[in-house]
Chains A and B, each alone.
Chain A
Amino acid sequence: MSTPESCVAAGPVFAEQWQAEALAMADLLMQSGQVDAQVWAQTLGAQLAHWQAQEDSVEHYYQAVLAALQVVLRDNTLLAEPEIARRQHEWERAYLSTPHGEPVMLKKAGAKP
């Protein structure tokens, strides 16, 4: 299953930045009391059952974290899917219209693309 590891880290803790950020947001929302820790555990458990049934990997673990984050944001009326979808579309357009190498910024609301 795995070999014992010493306290010296054997590689990066997170394979990808988004994985760290998704976990950070969940933890910070719990620390500030905006999301209940037990509700989080239940929600993550349900998402893990779904994602890890497809593939028992670290990638799918973090996919479950991201899915659970969206569920608790919705259920706590902090953030709903239509708003996320709209903003994601804006980010996509910003990425596609920004020359490679330049910082990607969102255009101000109402500005012409």
Chain B
Amino acid sequence: MDDQKKVTELYHTLHSHLPSEPALRVKTIQSLLVEKGLIQEATIDSWVQAYSEDIGPRRGAEVIAKAWLEPDFKQALLADAAQAVDELGLMGKAVGHLKAVENTDAVHNMVVCTLCSCYPFALLGIAPDWYKKAAYRSRAVREPRQVLREFGVELADEITVRVYDSTAELRYLVIPQRPAGTEDFTAAQLADLVTRNAMIGTQRELSVEVA
């Protein structure tokens, strides 16, 4: 092996220990913000753990199940979703307001953030990958029926599609229709039926078979 090769190999061995450029940059920013007292290291760690493991769409599903079972709660949710959800202790430290929109036989609601990726993540967890992509963000408003078709939702022509554009100040939660044949279901059984996509509006019919 010639010297040049040895040097190259040594370089690669050393650099293989280096984190990727974005990882190193994040570590750098984090260490500076912590040092300046702008953020606590433990707070970052607990945020990451919470959103990696604990906070997911199950929270939203429980809200939907409660709305199906309790008409008063549904009215409160439709009137002021942030307050109704906050009273359940599920709003967390979310920034901005929340609006619940209800699917009916005549209306299907669908949520997007055309600007960036605003999403009620204190309630639904981190947004799914497709929600963050330019393809969905740019097409959901322009051709919602086609986008829904790609998610497997065939909408009859007489059903109106309403697309809601989330902002930093106002996010949306879709209340899907309660499936038929679930009259005897408990709140937990109902919550099991509610999918994340249904609460964003890229799914319309909920299956009763998973319960």
* Interface residues in chain A, defined as those with a beta carbon under 8 Å from any beta carbon in chain B: 1-7, 9, 12-14, 16-18, 20-25, 27-32, 34, 37-38, 40-42, 44-45, 48, 52-53, 56-58, 61-63, 66, 69-70, 73, 78-79, 83-84, 87-88, 91-92, 95-96, 98, 100, 106
Contacts and interface: CB of A to CB of B under 8 A. Distances in A.
Contacts of A40: 168
B58 interface: yes
Contacts, number: 175
B167 A18 contact: no
Interface size class of B (residues with CB under 8 A): 35 or more
Contact of A25 (B14, B30, B151): B30
Interface of B: 14-15, 17-20, 22-33, 36, 38-39, 43-44, 47-48, 51-52, 56-58, 61, 93, 95-96, 115-118, 125-126, 128-130, 132-136, 147, 150-152, 167-169, 191-192, 194-198, 202-203, 210
25 contacts: A7-B191, A14-B48, A16-B20, A18-B19, A18-B25, A21-B30, A24-B51, A25-B39, A28-B43, A29-B39, A34-B38, A37-B96, A41-B167, A44-B115, A45-B115, A45-B116, A52-B134, A58-B133, A78-B33, A88-B25, A88-B28, A91-B28, A91-B31, A95-B24, A106-B31
